[in-house]
Amino acid sequence: MEKKNVLIADDDEIIRGLLRLRLKGLGYDVCAIAENGEDAVKRALETNPDFVFMDISMPGKIDGVTAAQEIKAHSNSKIIFLTAHSADEILDRVKSIKPVWFILKPFSDKDLRVALELAK
């Protein structure tokens, strides 16, 4: 099986490191890491990842939902949202993006594996 490339976009350094380790352990290549929405869009356009793990709340001019919209407009990357928040207004914005999955923090290896397997 060909290894799939993943972009990680999260403003929390600990979450980025944890995701990188867990995804590599599941057999995925982390092709890029971003700390904010603008950087996520830039890196996604440069690397064209198969999957984007996108935090919803990030610093900068654009949040994760807006960054995901930009990425989907210019690529076939599959978006998997990560968030600690599940308020109705956030869910309504996320639904418009049509992500392949939505994971609430804190997450487990099983959460990641299920999201990636069902997103293929």
Instruction: Write out pLDDT tens, residues 80-101.
Output: 999 887 777 777 888 888 899 9
Specify the CATH architecture of the domain 5-115: 3-Layer(aba) Sandwich (3.40)
pLDDT of 73 higher than 70: yes
Identify the three-state secondary structure at position 6.
Answer: strand
pLDDT of 39 higher than 90: yes
Q: Which of 43, 5, 10 is nearest to 24 (CA)?
A: 5
d(CA 22, CA 96): 28
pLDDT value for 1: 55
Q: Whole-model pTM? A: 0.93
d(CA 35, CA 117): 25
- Determine the average pLDDT of the residues in 32-37: 98
Which DSSP letter does residue 116 get? H
Q: How confident is the model at residue 30 (pLDDT cuts 50, 70, 90)?
A: very high
Furthest-apart CA atoms within the chain: distance in Å = 39
Question: Structure tokens of 118?
Answer: 């069902």
Which DSSP letter does residue 20 get? H
Cβ-Cβ contacts under 8 Å for 117 (sequence gap 6 or more): none
Domains of the chain by residue range: 5-115
